[in-house]
Structures are given as C-alpha cells and as structure tokens.
Structure 1
Amino acid sequence: MSSGKWTGWLLTVMMTTFVSHGYGQQQAALFPLSAVRLLESPFLQAQQTDAQYILSLDEDRLLAPFLKDAGIRPLKENYGNWESDGLDGHIAGHYLTAAAQMYAATGDTVFRNRLNYMLDWLEKCQQQNGNGYVGGIPDGKQVWQQVAQGRVEAVWQRWVPWYNLHKLYAGLVDAYQLTGSEQAKRILIGLSDWCLRLTDKLSDGQMQRMLGNEHGGMNEVFANVSRITGDERYMTLARRFSHRAILDPLLEHQDSLTGLHANTQIPKVVGFARIAALTGDKAWADAAEFFWNTVTLHRSVSFGGNSVREHFNSPDDFSPMLESREGPETCNSYNMLKLTKALFLANPDAKYIHYYERTLYNHILSSQHPEGGFVYFTPIRPAHYRVYSSSQQCFWCCVGSGIENHGKYGELIYAHHADELYVNLFIPSVLQWKQRALELSQETRFPFETSSTLKFSTQRPQRLVVKLRQPDWIAGAFEVQVNGKPVKLPPARNGYVSIARTWKNGDRITVRLPMRTTAEVLPDSSQWVSFVHGPLVLAAAAGRSAMPGLKADSSRWGHIAHGRLEPLEDAPLLVMEDPAHAPMPRETDTAGMVFGMAHLVEQAKYKNLELTPFFQLHDRRYILYWPYAAAEEVPGIKAAIRQKEQARRQKEEATVDVVYPGEQQPEADHQFKGGQTRAGFFRERHYRSGKDWFSYVLSGRGTTPAKLSITCYGAEKDRSFDIYVNDSRIGAITLTGEGGNAFKDHVFDLPAGISGGEPLTILFKARSSSAIGRIFEVRLLK
C-alpha cells in the first residue's frame, strides 16, 4: 500500500472511530447550494445585483499579480487600491469562491466559464513556478524563502501575506467543492504540498510566532484539504496553523478578546470548529462554542456586527463604538456566519439560526447597495452614514467577502439529517432533494407578510420529519396548519417543532409568523437602545446632507465615511424608564413596515421620525441606536453627553489625519515601519512602544497641517525619545511620571514650508539608554 493510500485509509479509520464514540459526527448536513433556488424576494434581488458586480470585474486585471509573480507578462495591469497597495491578488481568491457560488446558485454557465478561465491561468502560473506555489503577493517569493529558512518574522515585511494567500486557498477549495472542478483540486493540492515543504523544518515555536501575523483561516483550509484528499498530513498542518495564543484561553473558557483585531481571530476559530468536526476533538469544539457565545452575547450589536475600528472593544464599554465613524466591519459578520453554520451542523439548535437570521437580514443584506457596491464599516453613531464601493476602484477586504455574501443565501434555508428536514429560514425558495425525488417550494412575502407556505411535490408518498424552527421573535403562540387544518404541535426541542407523517404530492404546511417589537440595549447595559421587529432591526432616516465619499473612490481611506459627525448631544433622546417594559414604536403602515415613535421622543423636532427596516435604508444618514433616560434624568443625561461630545468634537474638527498606534488596519493604512517595537493594550486603548524606532506616514489630505499631537500616558516614567518629521528633528518627549493617571497630549509645531499634499513621515527614535514610551495617538492638527 502506498504512503498516500495508507494515510488516507488511516484517516478514514480514525474518523470512523470518532464517529462511533459520538464525536465529530455532524448532526445535520447542508443541501448543495445548487439544490436551492431563490424566488422573488430582497435576497434574490441582492443575488442578482451581486451577479452583475461580479461580471463587471475584469479577470485579466485580477490575474495580473499572479502572472507577474510567475514571470509571465500580464495581459493587463493590476487593479488599483488594495490590489496595488501590497495586498495584490487577494480579490482573485474571493472571485473564485464568488463565481463558483453564483454558478451553483443560478446554473448560469457564464460564471463557470469565468471560473475556468481563472483556473487555467492560475495553473499556468503554478506550472511556471515549478514548485507548486502560485500567488500574487509583491515579492512574495522572497518572503517565503526567508520563512523556509526559519526567519518567520519576514511575514511582517509584507501586508499580511498568509491572509492574502488564504483567499486563494479558500477559493480553490470552494471551486472544487461547489463545481467539482478537478483542475481546482489539482492546483489546491500542489499549493498545499508547497506549504508542507515550506513549513516542514519550522519548529512549533517558529510557527506560533509566525501566526502572530494575520493569516485568515489557514487551519480551516488544510482541514478541508485533508477531508478532500484523505491525507492526514494536511490535518497535522491544520493543527500547526492553529494559533495557540487564541486557542488556549478559549480552551479554558477565558474571554481574552478585548483589544484584539476582531477579523483576525474569527477565521482562526472557524478553523478550530472545522478541525473538531473532522477529528472529533471535543475540547476544540467547546472552545469554538465558547467563542461564539462570547461574541454573539456580549460583543455584538443588534444587527449582529461587532468591533470598532476593526478591534474588539470591551464588553463593558461600547462608548468607543457609539462615538466612532468606523463601526462593525462586514467581514466580521461574514466570518461569524461561517462559524455559526459550522456549529449548527454539529449541533442543530435554533439559537444558531436566530443569530444567523438576524445578521443575514440586518448586516449582510444591508451591506450591498441596491445598484451595486459593498459596505466596509456600519457605524452605530447616530446620524452617520455608510460608504459603498465602486466596482473598478475599490478592492477592500469587505469587497472580497462582499462578492461572496450575496451568492450563498440558499445555503442554510434548509438542512437535513436521515429522514429529518430542517426548515431554518423563511425565505422564498425551491429545494430539490434529489436523493428523495422531492421538491419543496416555500412561498412567502415574509417579512412583509406574516406567514409562509411550504408545498410538497413528490412522485411517491414518503415519511419525513419536518422540523420547523420556532422563531424567538414570534408574537403569541406558534401556529401551524397542514393542508388547511391546525396541527397540535409537540413541545419545541432545541427551538424546533417536529411534524412526522407520510407526505404526499400537493401537501402544504402553512406557518404563521406574527412578529413582536422589542427594545434591545447594548451589551454593556448603557442607556442606548435599538428596536427590533421580528428579526428586523429598525432604523430612522436622518437626512442626506454632507455625505462626502458616499460612493468611494480608489483613495487609501475611501472605505471610511469621513463626512461631518453630528453632535451626540443633538441625537434624539427617548424618554423611558425601562426599555423592557416601555411602550414600543407603533406600526403606522403594515404594508411598508413603518413605525412612529413620537410618544417616545423627548425633543419636538424629532417627533416625526419614523422607523423602517434597516436593510432598506441606503444613501442617507441613519439612526440605529437611541439614548434613553427616565424623565427626571433627561437634563443630567443631556449635560453629560454634551460635555464629553464637545471635547471630542473640538479635537476631531482640528484633526487633519490620525493614526492609532497598535491597531492593525490604521497602522497598515499609515505605512507603519519599525525596529524593536511592540504593540499593546492599556486602559481600553491600543498603543505602540519600542526600544529603537518606529514610523508612520500621515497625509495633509489637501489641508496644510500646523501641529503634531502625540498622546502618551501621564504616569509612565523613565522614557525619553526624539520625534522627527521628514528626517527633521522637531522635539523630544521625556516621560517622568508627573502627568498622573490620565492621558496627555504633547503638541509640537511642524516645520515651516509643509504643504497640504505632502506626505509626512513621523518617526519616533529612542534616546540612548532609554526607550520610546507608550504612544496612543498621533495626530496632525490644523
């Protein structure tokens, strides 16, 4: 028996053993994406809009980084933006997944043809390289050569190279699994073997140091390659690519997430869950479950998103998210839904679908413009707005996950296990269960009507247990009819009611779905509330004024809504004692799902505001979260908000550009470089310090800056360092501890002659026998 057949056979035996002990056995399975077709609904419209966006992209430009890397003359030049900024090639991997998904979801061969074209060129690049490698990372081969030599810190010399490469790996996995492409499988195995050789001589310590750099879900990829090939070597590699700094606290059920870059961590946990599903590792499964509970229950807002400026804020303080223009990131929810799906398949409990549904309707569906374009940040700051991508100019991470999001709405509407059929979501669709020669159509206008009808079409009567999810948002009793007659339902189990019978052609199930309206406070229990009707988060339109960059251009910060921040003290204030028992907004238009709230709003000028489903609000400012107070508290609440907001606004209005040291994306945006430096987290704020030097590049963005402000901690002492601007020393900071228990701004005049369009390199250099203190903010001021 060859070694490959032996390892495949051994893995099969191991998996059989785990299944026999009840571990690793999935309790539900997905139908192929090709088995579910969407019917007319907001989801079908979003799918069609996404399809046009995908088709607008030029494969030759997406392929250019790979051809350049392989020494092949590209047919066209790279796209710009992140595709020419160091993350060259990352969108191509997403494109493989998106094209494969759209082909499976629609059957339209144009997507299969595009997928094949991409694969043909990628295989040519792989063959040209001659060692299994294919990638578009600028000077990537130099990085991988250093890694192979044990110099794993080389991954910090490029913009997250493993994260970049993960998109290609994931795209190849999806191309094979969704379309059966043997070519995709061939490229995938060659690339996986290259990685085996690359990391073969690295110690576990070196691997773990390397994993300190963002690397996507590399562990999930190799778990999937192991499943595809039956080769256990890839499962070993999957475990080696599992970051112990994240896994170990989760194994101990410790929440150590505050301050971490959120979307760096979520894919790792998706990998933990996948490894657990395939190997039966119950401890890793429990770690993934603990993470999911932590994020969904304590770190997510009403629409399912999490993070501020891409980082997990403290679960005890959501004020940074309320104040920021950079709210929850769409990529985070994309990955949280992947994790949710994996946990549901291992343990079909409706709690997972409740979160999945909430996030699907309110974050994912809302993140695409009806005419095309994807959202990066969804601020919860009252009366701010979102920015949408332009197809030929914007290539952010949330564009990559965005082109995937809207092609897979059919993946979890239904699931099955043995003779059980799960109905999870009330989305108009048709299911083809080929193994049973059964078609199930779901006809509904939900959420704009409060019922859904399931119709069976079958060539022969057959016995099935239909498991209907009982939503947690139902108003009153859960009512079901079969063929027009009420059914006495058994008690729900794990959030599902089961109807077991022999189903015949033409049988119908009608489910009533009346929705209640509830108020949800933020997880930190602060006095901010959001309203939810059924699974739909409600929001109020707040005007269209001053929304620069609404349709983003190719600029480095184009994904951020840089327009004016409306004062928090001017936000509509609700008068209520206890949101759980207060009167709710009143539905004034049931057909359009419009709610009035004049009876709740304190200020007369806001009493005409109306709430509608958030996923329908585009091209305008909006309000998702509302401050509230009891009547006697209103003056004090207003005064406190006003005082804090005035100080923040003065600083914001004076700012030309700002970088938050220690935060991953702001540092990448500002071309961080450094030697002997470290990032950390202190008193809910990120910082960077160092023994030698580090620098950033800031921009005047057309405004001539006059001063440089550097924020340090007052009680820090025995630190002394110089500050340089474009190689000119402008001053020094010596920290003696006399500043006390507070953050202090050190302000310096900039050299004369600086123009608004000139990039400024700000460098911090430790003085002899000293070090650079913790720096929390670096701001250019007018």
Structure 2
Amino acid sequence: MIRKLVLGIGLLWLSHTVQAVEYFALDEVRLTESPFKQAQEKNLEYVMTLSPDRLLAPYLREAGLTPRTASYGNWENTGLDGHIGGHYVTSLSLAYAATGRADVKARLEYVLSELERAQKANGNGYLGGVPDSDKLWQEIARGELRADLFALNGYWVPWYNLHKIFAGLRDAYVYTGSEQARRMMLAWADWAAALMSHLSDEQIQQMLTTEYGGMNETFADVYALTGDQKYLTLAEQFSQRKLLEPLVKGRDELTGLHANTQIPKVVGFERIAQLSNQEDWHRAAEYFWRTVVNERSVAIGGNSVREHFHDKADFDPMIEEIEGPETCNTYNMLKLTKLLYGRRTAPEYVNYYERALYNHILSSQDPHTGGLVYFTPMRPNHYRVYSQTHQGMWCCVGSGIENHFKYGEFIYAHQGNELYVNLYIPSTLHWREQGVRLSQTTHFPDESGTSFSFEQAADITLKLRYPQWAAGEPQVQVNGKAIKVEVDADGYIALDRHWKKGDQVALALPMQTHLEALPGGSDFYAILYGPIVLSAETSPFKDEVLNYYADASRMGHIADAERCPIDQAPMLVASSPDFAEQIQRIDDHQLRFKASGVIQPVEYQNLELIPFFRVHRSRYMLYWPYSTPENIGALRENRAREEVAQLALEAVTIDKVAPGEQQPESDHFFQGSESEAGVHLGRHWRHAHDWFSYQLNDPQAQARFLQITYFGGDAGRHFFIELNGDVLAQVRLSAERGPEFYSVEYVIPPEILAKADKGKHLLKFVAGEKSIAGGIYGVRLLSDH
C-alpha cells in the first residue's frame, strides 16, 4: 500500500520505508529576492523561449506522424533526438510547482497532449525520439545485443535518451498531479517491461554496458506509485552489477569510468534500497557518495575531467585540462545527497549540498541570457561557454533547465513536528500539515546571518542548522533577546516552544576566509569564505575578444580558445599556506576581497576576489598555484618547461579525439565493428578485431598531419589507417619502444586531403588478417608545424 504521495518532491515512499526526514512539496516553498530567485526567473525565460513543437518533433516523427516543424539541431538531430524534450517535461513540471504560473501549466498540458498523440500512434505504449529505433527494439526483443560504452546495437545511448521522457512523465504526475502523465508513464513502463521479458539477466547486464541514465530509479518510483512488484523487479534488473558489486564491498574501481554514467545508477541503487530494505545496496550508495565527495571532488563540489573519473591520487589533469567538472554530474550528486539525507540527517550531506549548490549549480547559468554551462574548467586563467537557446542541446542544457527550478527542494525538511532549516536562502514556507507559515529573510552570503518570522502561531520544534564552517559559538536571538543554545550531533540548534504570530528568530552565521588545497597533495589552492568559493576575473591577453556563447556544433560546449600558460598565471606567494588573514574584505555589503600582499606578479596584486557564482563572461582564477618566495622562480621555470611542448601541440591541433572516451567519440560520430574500449595505465584506448572510424573536423582545410598515439606493449599488431577512403599508412606495432606511450605523425598527401567532404575527414582503422587494429590512445589532426 502507498502511504503517501507528496507532490512536488520526486520522492515517493512506501509504508515500510525508513526515513529520517520528509521533504516539502515544491509548491509549499517560494523563493524571495536573492541570486537563486533571479536564476529561477531567468531560467523560466529561457525555458519558455524554447519551441515546444521543435522539441516534440522527434516523438511525432518516430510515431509516423507529421511534426508541426523541424526538430532542433545539435544533439537533437544527430542521434540523441528527443532527450531535451524529456527534460523539458520535467522542467515545466518543476516550474509550475515552483511558481504556480498558469502559462507554464498550459505549456505543459500542450506538450503532454502532443506526446500522448504520439504514444497512441505507436500503439504499444512506446514513446521516444530515438531515430529509426524500430529495428533496435526488434533486435533487443530477439536478444541480439551489441553493447559498447555509448552505443547499443549502433544507437547512441538509447536507454539514456528514453529515460528522460520516462522521468519527465513521472515528474509531470509527481509535481503537478497530472493523471494524463501517470497514464502515459504506466503505458510506457509496461512497454519496457514487455520488451525486457524476452531477455535473460545475463543479456540485460550485457545491455547495461551502454549508458542507461537513471532507468532503475524511475522504475523504482513507478513501484512506489503503484505498489506493483514487477516495477521494482525491473528496477533491480536495470541496475548494473559490475558497478554495484565492488561498491558493496567498499572498493573504489571508479578510475577511468565515465562519471555521469555511474552517478544516476547509484541514485537508483539507493532508491531501490529505500523501497526494498536492501542494506547492501544502501551501503554501496553511501560508499560511492563518500568516495566521490571526499576523494574525487574539487572545491565547487564538482568532479571529473573530460567527463571521466581520473586517478584520485593525481589531480594534475584537473588543472591542466580545460574540460573540468561537468554540471550534469553535480545535478545527479545532489539527487543522491538528497536521498541519503532523507534517510540520515548527517551534517556532511548538507555541507556538500550547500557547497555544490552555491558554487557549481548557481554558477552554471549566465545571469544575463540564462545560457547553461557544460564544463567548468579549473585551469588557471581559463573560461566557460554558455548555451544559446535554440542552438545548444547538450545533456547539461537538459539537466540545467531543471536545476534552477529546484532551489526550494532542500531549504527545509520535516519529521513529526520538527522543522529542519538546512539552507539560508530567502524564502517562505507554508507547512500545510502543521498550519505553519514561516518566512526566512537574509542576504547570505553577503551578510553573516539569517532571520525567521512566524506568520501564524504554531507548536513545533525549529531546528536550525549550525554549519561546520561557522567561525564561532552559536548565537541565537528570539524576539531580540539572546538565548542559550546547544548544537546537537547532527549540527542543529533545536528551539522547542509555542510560537506566536510575529515571533522573530535571528541566527548569526560568522564566516571566515580559509584555503583548501586541491586534493592529491597538490600545491594549488582554492580560497573560500565560509562555504563560498572565491574567484577573480582575469585578462591575461591584451585586447582579447572571446566568444562566450557556444555555437551549434557538436563540440561547441568546450571553451577551446587559447590556453594561458600556467607558469604565467597569478600565484599565491607566502612563507606558508597559513595566510588567510591577509585576505581582506573590502566591502561591507557584498563579498569583495583583496589579497594584495600574497598575489604575484605585481600586475595581479589588485585582483578582486568575489564569489565564483558572480564570475561570468571572463577568464578567471579559481585554483591558484602556491609557492614560497624562495621557490617561486624554480617553480615557474619547471612549469614552463613541462607545458611548452603541450601548449605548442595544442596550438597546431585542428581536431582531436580521445578514443574510448564517451563524449569525444560520439562528437566525432564513432562507428565500428567488433570494437572494444578500455583504460590502461590511466589512459583510455580503443581497438577492433574488424574496424572503427571517426569523423574529423577541418573546416578551414588546414590539416597536414595525422598524429596517432600508441602503447609499446601492443607489439605484434597489424592494421591499416585509412583517411577519406584511401590507405594512409600500414602499421605494424613493434616492441622496440618498450612499455611506454608514444606518438607517430603521418604526412597526409594533398590528394587524400582533397577528398574531404565539406571539411570532414573520415578516419578509419582496419585490422589486418587475424590481427587487431589498435590500441589507439589518441588521435590528432595537425596543421603545419
């Protein structure tokens, strides 16, 4: 039996579920003026500007109906067709719950009616935009499976794609109460159940090699909605054991894995654990969370480089690369954090949630256009690019149009008559069950405190979180009078009394500046004030004009303008890293700081430090290199020597592929037969017993060389490199290099270059007889040296 359906929170509980707290429906919390309210309003503008008919086009097309207009481009017409449409349903549902706006509800109802028209035309409950997928589902039903990291039977992550519409229908019901969405969701779930019924557990696990989003979580939610055991069984079947089993045993085998492929799976593990009391699955989720947050994340709460978990003992790639933490990862880590906190109100969950929300999620939106960020580089003096409404259709646009409507989810929670206050965000709360109306007023983090006002009488225990970063003993005033308080083991101050209308509570939140080292023993530091990461806008190149807005290309989400040499970046210079007191606040109303005494060289000494969420359309410093005065010269010299070759290579690189890495391969339209990928010595590779290919970009016809990276341990392999249909090179790998990585450059003859199709070169690796093509560890298209 379903005990309770709480609209607006996305968490549905059965009677036997153990929980520490419950969350409020999103329509019980309203944001008031703050950066979060501004982000919500700008997101609403962005979402309502999107064309619903263009997002609906893939669903109508695949149902055999005539779309009202052409679909969007970018990822929406190159294999992941329809995924933004699924996010859009969730986004509209969240927007309506968060604002109550009638025009949003009308837009959602239109989208649902068109989707139901497509679902009915399909005739079997199926609803999706996966291009020409009838063949795929027929093959799967017959048990014919060819699963790679991002391709299932040659289709780009189809279950990941379909999960978006499945979750969208769930959210339309959960957040708005739409019975239409519930009906469509159940029909869709039953279609998937019928398809899966033809597969063995072994075949399903083989299928789950390919990214499948949060299918297990959503099936678990359908079980919570219906109480029908078959959906919980499907949720468990859609859970990859290859990831689950090491986590259950407390083993971190995440290095090299595509990060955001794994996080939604773990959200599903925890959701299933809560509904089935499988404690080992819960332990797996907790272990994963601790490992990622404590050992694999940076100061803003994000993780991954080039979308993958790197070696947690080596964070150098986080500084060197420009594809830093992915916004989708943090979106999903917050979902996992919320689930875990719902079971146990441990302070570390709220600390992480706050850190990631302020410093990564809030910072991922351009406050002027509403554009959304994919990668947030940690590299000194780099920058971010933002989506444009009708061009960028990346995964982080999909999760992004959800993010900025969810700010009200975690501010408050409750259990019995206890009201938990977790975040200090200006807002109002209407706790319907207890008849409580409460308002929170604050300018946090610019001011170090918050206050609450009861708008009607109530008998509740107000539990105020006193953060671990607070610099001093707790100070609370009730109606202007200081009272003595204690902080409990979970970090809360409990105020139990009969509250009268008009009662006021004030909480001081003293903050101080501190430094946080990049993990892995690095000499790079982030500067924080309380939980807020501080950053500085920089202009290292005179008269530089950067384009901060991505175009519609497959790789437009990467900020690929010139990289600044790290040895020339601003540095923190002091006799020891214990110099936080030299970072002085210079504005009483906003967080603005200077650290003139410790920043070198002299031209950077007047850099202003402000919250990272306020840094936009600029190069910036977030992690700063540190040195003692005695070592600064040698340190710069060493860094310059280490970087010179890499920066020179980047300068002549026209295009590149990281074989075996999901997004770079999909962006270059990977195809293959009998091909495999993996990780060796921390580097990704791909090889094939038959062939594999990429499409390389050369829009200005500048290509002259092809550089391929190999590993000396692959001796004895024989294969051909073809470019534009001609053999460019015959390769026989030998052992003479020893067990090391090395690169070979191949001159591309003009006649082969001339065969490029509109600036696109087709690169193909073909295995020799009874041999293997590869391993290939890197591909670069180079101009003249």
* TM norm. shorter chain > 0.5: yes
Partner of 1:215: 212
Conserved? CA contact 2:454–2:499, under 8 Å: yes
Deviations 1:447-502 (A, max 9, x none): 111111111122x4x42121111112212112111111112112322121211112
Partner of 1:106: 99
Partner of 2:507: 511
**2:644 aligned with 1:651:** no
Counterparts of 1:612-627 in structure 2, within 5 Å, are: 612-627=610-625
What letter matches 2:70 in structure 1? E
CA distance in 1, matches of 2:735, 2:596: 52
Counterparts of 1:665-680 in structure 2, within 5 Å, are: 665-680=663-678
The CA deviation at 1:701 is: 2.6
Counterparts of 1:123-138 in structure 2, within 5 Å, are: 123-138=116-131
Conserved? CA contact 2:267–2:336, under 8 Å: yes
Name the SS of the counterpart of 1:632 in structure 2: coil
The CA deviation at 1:680 is: 1.0
Moved over 6 A (4+): 16-20
**2:38 aligned with 1:45:** yes
Name the SS of the counterpart of 1:665 in structure 2: helix
Q: Relative to structure 1, is the Cα distance of residues 696 and 546 closer, same or farther in structure 2, using a 3 angstrom cutoff?
A: farther
Q: 722-731 or 635-644: which moved more? A: 635-644
Counterparts of 1:431-446 in structure 2, within 5 Å, are: 431-446=429-444
Deviations 1:576-597 (A, max 9, x none): 3543565452212232311111
Conserved? CA contact 1:548–1:562, under 8 Å: no
Conserved? CA contact 1:707–1:781, under 8 Å: yes
Conserved? CA contact 2:14–2:224, under 8 Å: no
**2:328 aligned with 1:311:** no
CA distance in 2, matches of 1:248, 1:701: 46
Name the SS of the counterpart of 2:599 in structure 1: coil
Q: Relative to structure 1, is the Cα distance of residues 546 and 674 closer, same or farther in structure 2, using a 3 angstrom cutoff?
A: farther
What RMSD in Å do the two structures reach over aligned CA positions? 1.7
Partner of 2:289: 292
CA distance in 2, matches of 1:168, 1:38: 27
What letter matches 1:781 in structure 2? L
CA distance in 2, matches of 1:94, 1:523: 33
**2:447 aligned with 1:449:** yes
Give the counterpart of 1:559 among 551, 557, 560: 557
Unaligned residue ranges in structure 2 (runs of 5+): 4-11
CA distance in 2, matches of 1:420, 1:326: 43
Partner of 2:177: 180
The CA deviation at 1:229 is: 0.9
Partner of 2:631: 633
Give the counterpart of 1:27 among 15, 20, 23: 20
Name the SS of the counterpart of 1:197 in structure 2: helix
Partner of 2:86: 93
Deviations 1:693-748 (A, max 9, x none): 11111011324200000001124311121111011111122222111243111111
Q: Relative to structure 1, is the Cα distance of residues 324 and 506 closer, same or farther in structure 2, using a 3 angstrom cutoff?
A: same
Conserved? CA contact 1:521–1:529, under 8 Å: yes
Counterparts of 1:592-603 in structure 2, within 5 Å, are: 592-603=590-601
Conserved? CA contact 2:417–2:434, under 8 Å: no
What letter matches 1:159 in structure 2? W
Conserved? CA contact 1:374–1:399, under 8 Å: yes
Conserved? CA contact 1:576–1:582, under 8 Å: no
Name the SS of the counterpart of 1:498 in structure 2: strand
Unaligned residue ranges in structure 1 (runs of 5+): 10-15
- TM-score when normalising by structure 1: 0.96
Conserved? CA contact 1:519–1:584, under 8 Å: no
The CA deviation at 1:549 is: 3.8
Partner of 1:254: 251
Partner of 2:345: 348
What letter matches 1:267 in structure 2? P
Partner of 1:532: 528
Partner of 2:226: 229
CA distance in 2, matches of 1:722, 1:119: 51
Conserved? CA contact 2:514–2:580, under 8 Å: no
Conserved? CA contact 2:516–2:526, under 8 Å: yes
Deviations 1:227-250 (A, max 9, x none): 011101000000000011111110
**2:643 aligned with 1:642:** no
What letter matches 2:306 in structure 1? R
CA distance in 2, matches of 1:397, 1:206: 27
The CA deviation at 1:70 is: 0.6
The CA deviation at 1:638 is: 1.3
CA distance in 2, matches of 1:58, 1:318: 41
CA distance in 1, matches of 2:658, 2:774: 15
**2:258 aligned with 1:265:** no
The CA deviation at 1:689 is: 1.7
Partner of 2:774: 773
Conserved? CA contact 1:304–1:333, under 8 Å: yes
Partner of 2:7: none
Question: Structure 1 vs Structure 2: percent identity of aligned residues?
Answer: 48
The CA deviation at 1:19 is: 6.8
Conserved? CA contact 1:659–1:778, under 8 Å: yes
What letter matches 2:158 in structure 1? P
Conserved? CA contact 2:765–2:774, under 8 Å: no
Deviations 1:164-194 (A, max 9, x none): 0000011111100000000000000000000
Give the counterpart of 2:72 among 69, 76, 79: 79
Conserved? CA contact 2:93–2:172, under 8 Å: yes
CA distance in 2, matches of 1:30, 1:242: 26
What letter matches 1:168 in structure 2? I
Deviations 1:519-570 (A, max 9, x none): 0111112110000111110001012854544111211111111111111111
Deviations 1:140-171 (A, max 9, x none): 12111111110132724111100000000111
Name the SS of the counterpart of 1:53 in structure 2: helix
Give the counterpart of 1:478 among 451, 474, 494: 474
CA distance in 1, matches of 2:274, 2:562: 47
What letter matches 1:93 in structure 2? G
Conserved? CA contact 1:549–1:558, under 8 Å: no
Partner of 1:13: none
The CA deviation at 1:350 is: 2.0
Name the SS of the counterpart of 2:745 in structure 1: strand
The CA deviation at 1:408 is: 1.2
Deviations 1:280-310 (A, max 9, x none): 1111111101101101111111001111111
The CA deviation at 1:123 is: 0.9
